[in-house]
Amino acid sequence: MAQDDTAQNPARRAFFRKSLPIIPVTALAAAGGAATLATTEHNHLPPVPGPAVDMAMADAARYRPSFFSADEYRFLQSAVARLIPQDDLGPGALEAGVPEFIDRQMGTAYAAGSLWYMQGPFDPNALPELGYQLKLSPREVYRLGIAAADRWSEKNLGRKFAELSATDQDKALAAMEHGIEDFEGLPSKTFFSMLWTNTREGFFSDPLHGGNKGMVGWKLIGFPGARADFMDWVERDEKYPFPPVSIHGQRG
């Protein structure tokens, strides 16, 4: 493929190379969810520590979570901002509205566990290829996981997750990813895995669902979106020259 701006940032490029094979193509164009940033003025939530948010990205700033409490949403904003941070290549998950995407997901059949087999027996020691082995729905995973993450952060790092420095937030997320023994209510790996998966889905979803605001995720990887036909460009060794298009016809 022709070189593009991601060549200037090997770490970011490596992240997307690892992420994209995991996300079905259908999710890139039609994952369910939403997009936004919460501000003190519109949501009565304190701003997330870190780089200033470009409010031109968002009427999303007016979004108010329907599932998550103020403290839970604060955690969510802080966590996704570290998982896919804003950098010199463009907005990150926070600016793209991933917190709203995840909050809206909590109102779906997916979040209630209705799309999964949720009856026992449950074997937490089963082989990974046997699938999900907890009796918790995604809603319960988030509710228990956020509470456990804040308790662990307070105990080990002195403050709730959203109040930590970016460096300590990264430490907390890495600990959850690798497994925390005293994580209460569920395995920390399970919580981190769901948070990480939903964050990527929100970053690459169609703006119809609120995530990927301004199609920033698609622009970053050169994905043409829901265009009717771009097959004549597939075999060319050059960058696709046209902006992405959403399902509703919005152009990036």
Asked whether residue 6 carries a pLDDT value surpassing 50, the answer given is: no
In a domain, 170, yes or no: yes
Record the tokens describing residue 72, joined without a space.
Answer: 């839970």
Neighbours of 69 (CB within 10 A): 11
* Cβ–Cβ < 8 Å for 91, 12: no
Task: Residue 75: name the closest of 162, 164, 172 by CA.
Answer: 162
Cis peptide before 65 (omega within 30 of 0): no
Question: What pLDDT is stored for residue 4 in this prediction?
Answer: 45
Task: Residue 226: name the closest of 202, 203, 252 by CA.
Answer: 252
Residues, the chain, total?
252
* Cβ–Cβ < 8 Å for 96, 104: no
Which residues, in sequence order, are bridge partners of residue 90? 87
Residue type present at position 242: F
End-to-end CA distance of the chain: 22
In a domain, 8, yes or no: no
Q: What does pLDDT average to over the chain?
A: 78
In a domain, 247, yes or no: no
- Max mean pLDDT among 15-24, 157-166, 202-211 falls in 157-166
Per residue in 36-86, pLDDT (tens digit) is 333 333 333 444 444 444 443 545 567 789 999 999 999 999 999 999 999
In a domain, 39, yes or no: yes
In a domain, 2, yes or no: no
In a domain, 97, yes or no: yes
State percent of the chain over pLDDT 90: 43
Q: What is the 8-class DSSP label of residue 210?
A: S
pTM attached to this predicted model:
0.74
Which structural domain range is residue 103 located in? 14-120+135-221
Per residue in 217-235, pLDDT (tens digit) is 888 888 777 777 777 777 7
Q: Is 27 helix (H, G, I), strand (E, B) or coil?
A: helix
Cα 71–Cα 157–Cα 81 angle in degrees, nearest 5 = 50
- Sign of the torsion formed by the C-alpha atoms of 32, 11, 221 and 84: positive
Give the confidence band of 20 by pLDDT, cuts at 50, 70, 90.
Answer: low
* Number of structural domains in the chain: 1
Q: Is 231 helix (H, G, I), strand (E, B) or coil?
A: helix
* Cβ–Cβ < 8 Å for 48, 77: yes
Distance CA 89, CA 102 (A): 23
In a domain, 93, yes or no: yes
Integer CA distances (angstroms), 158 to 121, 162, 163, 232, in order: 38, 11, 9, 56
Q: What is the 8-class DSSP label of residue 205?
A: S
In a domain, 79, yes or no: yes
- CA 127 centroid distance within chain: 26
- Max mean pLDDT among 26-30, 105-109, 216-220 falls in 105-109
